[in-house]
Amino acid sequence: MTMCELNGDDTSMDVIEIAISQLNALWRNVGRMNTLYPQCDGLLEDLQSLIRCIESMKRKQPMLDAFWEGTECVGLKTLLQNKQGQLERILCHRCDPHGMVDVSTFGRTGSNARHKSEDVAQNFESFVHDCEDGMCTYDGGVVKVDDVLRFITGCSSVPPGGFDARFSIGFTEERKYPTVSTCTFEVVLPLHLKNYNTFKDIMIESIVSGPGFGQI
């Protein structure tokens, strides 16, 4: 069925169901598992738009067929359709902040600030390791590496293409809690957090409380 075949009598449920069936088949062919149903609210508001969508996808059908024929030579099509969850974990790989960090302001070599910043930076690395090992617990659960990444970047996993830049760590003597900028991927850590247990408690509190800050 093409756009030119659509007329005033083509709003029957039979025609609509055929159109939706075609669209569902095309979506499955490109790896989309979403299924449309004629009874869905708002779905039938614009039947012509639905048909245009089908026609647009049909024009690309030969290219899609050739693509899938090639991928199925190595079983990729079946893998993509049947193992979506596993592939997501591969393509959107789990975060590993260690290799993404630039320490930007250690302080002058030999200065007190330098020694403090090195200690605090080491605390941050130890904290990430503890998060990986499930050791950063609180009353409501456990802080994971994903939570640390979300706290700093706003993303719970590294995108397939990676980030535009590594995130940086700075230090301050003027604040009691860490601050972050998800725009610049910068986390600023207080220099007074030399004791690891104190650092760990403050980081957990900041990460857990951060999403609700300003909402009460």
Residues 204, 143 contacting (CB under 8 angstroms): yes
pLDDT score, position 170: 86
Q: Is 182 helix (H, G, I), strand (E, B) or coil?
A: coil
CATH of 97-212, one of 3.40.50.300, 3.10.180.10, 3.30.2410.10, 3.30.2310.20: 3.30.2410.10
> Which residues in the chain are classed under CATH 3.30.2410.10?
97-212
Q: Cα(135)–Cα(131) distance, rounded to whole angstroms?
A: 6
Can you name the residues that pair with 170 across neighbouring β-strands? 188
Q: Cα(129)–Cα(199) distance, rounded to whole angstroms?
A: 14
pLDDT score, position 155: 80
Residues 171, 116 contacting (CB under 8 angstroms): yes
Q: What are phi and psi of 19, to 5 degrees?
A: -60, -45
* pLDDT per residue rounded down to tens, the chain (216 residues): 444 444 444 456 676 677 677 766 766 655 444 555 555 555 555 456 666 766 777 787 888 888 888 888 888 878 877 876 676 666 655 545 445 555 555 555 555 678 888 899 899 989 988 998 899 999 878 999 888 888 888 887 777 667 766 778 888 888 889 998 888 888 899 999 999 999 999 999 999 887 644 433
pLDDT score, position 65: 84
CA nearest neighbour of 127 among 67, 196, 76: 196
Residues 95, 158 contacting (CB under 8 angstroms): yes
CA quadruple 194, 187, 94, 128: dihedral, nearest 10: 0
Q: Is 25 helix (H, G, I), strand (E, B) or coil?
A: helix
pLDDT score, position 143: 92
pTM (whole model) above 0.85: no
Q: What are phi and psi of 196, to 5 degrees?
A: -65, -40
pLDDT score, position 168: 81
Q: Cα(151)–Cα(143) distance, rounded to whole angstroms?
A: 11
Q: Cα(187)–Cα(152) distance, rounded to whole angstroms?
A: 7
Residues 37, 20 contacting (CB under 8 angstroms): yes
Q: Is 32 helix (H, G, I), strand (E, B) or coil?
A: coil
Q: Cα(121)–Cα(106) distance, rounded to whole angstroms?
A: 9
Helix, strand, coil in percent for the chain, rounding step 5: 50, 10, 40
Helix axes 13-29, 47-59, angle to 10 degrees: 40
